[in-house]
């Protein structure tokens, strides 16, 4: 551990490379997404009862956990679909307007999207996970006076981004610590 990371309370552990898979149901046009850690992601259609699901798209991704260096506790983020920067949202959305205001104060706003329903993001355990994410990314910033604020998805972005629109913020994901093999 080098001196730059010695003061960081949290570290990224259990990094699992994979894909975000987006699929649609043939008759209802229902869309859903999920994480797949297989080397060859599934692209064939399949049945679940009367429903027929077809592949719609995918993007490389990874899942991770965060470990508290002081207590050793590991927080799992299996439900995290991704972090969406405010600038990736529609310009007429509330989150974009809030992000634009915050940007003037050197605060970058991100929304934590989950694979599950929006209601789950209002649970106390998810809000604690958001606090930990904020601390993890915030303590790695090197630009003076810059801040990152990660919010739960109270903006219903899940429907938009889990249904085929996939974004990547290379600056934020590049802040991940290098993992030893």
Is position 25 within any domain?
yes
User: Does residue 152 form part of some domain?
Assistant: yes
Is residue 166 a part of any domain in this protein? Answer: yes
Tell me if 179 is assigned to some domain: no
**pLDDT above 90 covers what percent of the chain?**
44
Q: 180 lies in a domain?
A: no
Highest averaged pLDDT of the listed ranges 14-18, 35-39, 152-156: 14-18
Structure tokens at 41: 């992601």
Average pLDDT over residues 139-155: 90
Range of the structural domain that residue 15 is part of: 3-173
- What is the mean pLDDT of the segment spanning 23-46? 87
Residue 179 has pLDDT above 60, yes or no: no
Q: How many domains does the chain have?
A: 1
Span 57-97, pLDDT tens digits: 888 889 999 999 999 999 999 989 888 889 888 899 899 99
The Cα–Cα gap between 75 and 133 comes to: 10
Q: What is the pTM of this model?
A: 0.79
Give me the residues paired with residue 150 across strands: 110
């Amino acid at each position: 551990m080098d001196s730059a990371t010695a003061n960081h309370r949290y570290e990224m552990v259990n990094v699992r490379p994979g894909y975000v898979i987006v699929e649609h149901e043939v008759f209802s046009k229902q869309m859903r997404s999920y994480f797949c850690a297989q080397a060859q992601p599934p692209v064939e259609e399949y049945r679940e009862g009367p429903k027929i699901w077809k592949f719609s798209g995918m993007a490389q991704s990874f899942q991770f956990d965060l470990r508290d260096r002081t207590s050793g506790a590991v927080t799992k983020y299996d439900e995290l679909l991704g972090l969406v920067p405010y600038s990736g949202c529609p310009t007429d959305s509330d989150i974009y307007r809030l992000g634009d205001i915050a940007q003037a104060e050197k605060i970058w706003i991100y929304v934590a999207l989950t694979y599950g329903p929006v209601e789950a993001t209002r649970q106390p355990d998810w809000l604690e996970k958001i606090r930990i994410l904020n601390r993890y990314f915030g303590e790695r910033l090197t630009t003076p006076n810059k801040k990152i604020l990660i919010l739960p998805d109270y903006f219903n972005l899940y429907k938009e981004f889990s249904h085929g629109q996939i974004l990547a913020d290379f600056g934020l994901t590049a802040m991940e610590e290098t993992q030893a093999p």
